[in-house]
Structure 1
Amino acid sequence: MIWNKLSAVWRKELRDAVRDKRAMKLAFLPPVYMVVFFALGIGLAIHFQNPEERDIELAVAGQDEALTAWLVENRISIKEAPSDPYAAIEAGELDYALVLASEPVPPGSKEPRTATLVYNASNQKVHGAVGEVRSLLYRYNAVEAAVNILARGLSPKLVNPIAVREANVASEQQMGGLILGGVPLLLLMCAMMGSVGFAADMTAGERERKSLESLLLNPVPSFVLIVGKWLAAVALTLAVISLCQLLLFIALYFLPFNEIGLRVSVGLYAMVGIFVALVPVAFIAAALQLALGILSRSFKDAQTYMGFLIILPMVPFFVIVTNPGLYESWHLWVPLLGHQTVLKNLLLGEAIPLMAYPAFWLSALPVSALALWLAARQIRRAKVIYG
């Protein structure tokens, strides 16, 4: 009989939620927006980091044939700078310029030739091009110094006694983690906020419509009533998570990560693992939302209080970002904290701890049960029913 009553409550709440078009839009549109903005941001980052697609046109003031020839050889277009490049850059008429010495330095002079790279650092779109020009200037300076040392019959090692080399042992998939660092936060936000509108309508909304009292007149225990509402909220949250994962999978498949030397390959195994890891988060989110909805005076108050739940996944995200090497085995037992590391490893195709999924489920069930027990105790109070 209990299972029949639980199933009846679940079907009733699920039917009411599907009929509420406004709540459906509130639940399923935010994942679309978040994934679209994520894809646009990543696409712009790839565009600005890809030197092959960047057409750099450098305004040069002054004369230095050797330096300008070096820049042209490295695919830099040279044009004549205005009479006052500093004023032009301050006024926004010019993005950046290279100001050379007004008078050429004679060969063999002990005074170095000056080259000033002028730009406005507050203009975000110039940093990629300015960084590339700066790198070329440093390389030209090293080559010129080596040539001058050789002309005097000395070894270039006198100027550069240490040959610095870099060896990056990270794979292309691991380098993709630099871009995918915010994806776990996006997934957790979808899981935490997927059923906000539904949970508010199941609790505070029913009280405003005066239907909560008639619902409590049925011979159904309070805990069964709350669990039925919770199961409906969990089912809707999992639907939102599935939509978010599907859109994210499509975005990662079509984004041109290979243009900047990265490989991001998120397969079906990773997506299934991510979904299983997010199910306990949906349990906690739905239980907390129902508990807050029972204690809220109105539907708007319930939505306001539930909106603060979005802070919960942000706290562990900033902890991981500020301490990238921080990981302890007990993190898996803290809801939302261990998810950050495990979701990132799944996206990068790396191994995850064996106790990850048991820890997620075993830590989520007590929190969910406590929140549901508190909601069940409050739902039959006269203050809650009649406001």
Structure 2
Amino acid sequence: MLTTSEIGLIKATVPILREHGVLLTKHFYQRMFDHNPELKHIFNMGNQKNGTQQTALALAVLAYAENIENPSVLLPVLQRIGDKHTSLQISADQYDIVGRHLLASISEVLGEAATEELITAWAKAYGQLADIMINLEKSIYLQKAAVPGAWSGWRKFVIDRKVKESDEISSFYLRPQDGLEVALHQPGQYLSIKVYIPSLDLYQPRQYSISSAPDQHYYRISVKKEAGNQNKEEGTVSNHLHNVLQEGDVLEVSTPAGDFVLNTDQSSPLVLLSGGVGQTPFVSIMDFLSAADQQRQVRWAHACRSENVHAFRDQIKAWDEEHDWFKHIVFYENAAQEDKNIRSGRLDVAEITEMVLIPEADYYLCGPKPFIEKTILDLAALGVDRKKLFFEEFGPQTIHTN
């Protein structure tokens, strides 16, 4: 338990974390990888290079310091972090490594300002947070293990089919190499996969939304080929999947994870808003709802650059024609022609209020960070309750609606 004076010391570092938090986390990651290079196999090195991981950790440390007197308010965020950690098979002993390098980094970055009392306070604060996360992740591991078809650790899956969905997106149908059943995922969840990248001499994990309805025999992920190539950290895995791996090849997969899921116990209307490859969890949701032929009102507005990069467009159009409870609209930056389902320009919810403003609806957002941030603000300006907004940010979480 932190003392009153220790809480005061932690809160006194908040202004420093606001201004120099990323400097601290950059130092931390460099230090940790220098001393424990084996952890490079766990972390997405692309996110290290572009700085999103450092920013996400800086925001998390800041939020913890700001709420040190009542860290329970952070549980929704910690739950998402715990989901990600368990999908990567993070173990309790690795928190000791992180803590050691974090405290050393605080001391090295702050210099003389890092008094013995301050380091002691942060050591206790980190120990408190580590205990919360270890217990939370233990609970998540147990919940996953209770699902029929689930497994622990990494499991080998074979690429059964590889299908080109658009100029940028291909689907990979993954079946377990052992031929046994798999756990039924919740529509909206993701898989962590792990592949070896020879040019980096590293195993690299990535998370990809499952794009199919729950099935006991396979999963489908639909992956955008990112700019770059398999020899650079950014775009490494997506390019490796597109350019190198073929049907019959094997990769490692952990049990489905994530809380950006369809609540199947509710019948409230759904408004789905997606940008680019952010459509993939919604394809899973619609695949599930279509198979069940439920009568839940669903509206889906999607944005992408052009028809050539729009995956699953024929399937989505077929759902629209088949179900009277489902309607969709797509925005292309420069549409060749417009009709009731296709518009030219960027997705702006203010232009389609008749479609998206539905009483009691739940709003699900997925796509690039700028798309999510703008859409959240636009919906709030239209009077949508932020408690009705749910979003999935690809990569480390840096968006917070509160």
For Structure 1 versus Structure 2, the TM-score category normalised by the shorter chain is under 0.3
Larger Rg: 1
TM-score for both structures, normalised by structure 2: 0.22
- What TM-score comes out, normalization by structure 1 length? 0.23
| Higher relative contact order (Cα pairs below 8 Å, separated by 6+ residues) | 1
Name the one with the larger strand percent.
2
Query: By percentage of residues, which structure has more helix?
Result: 1
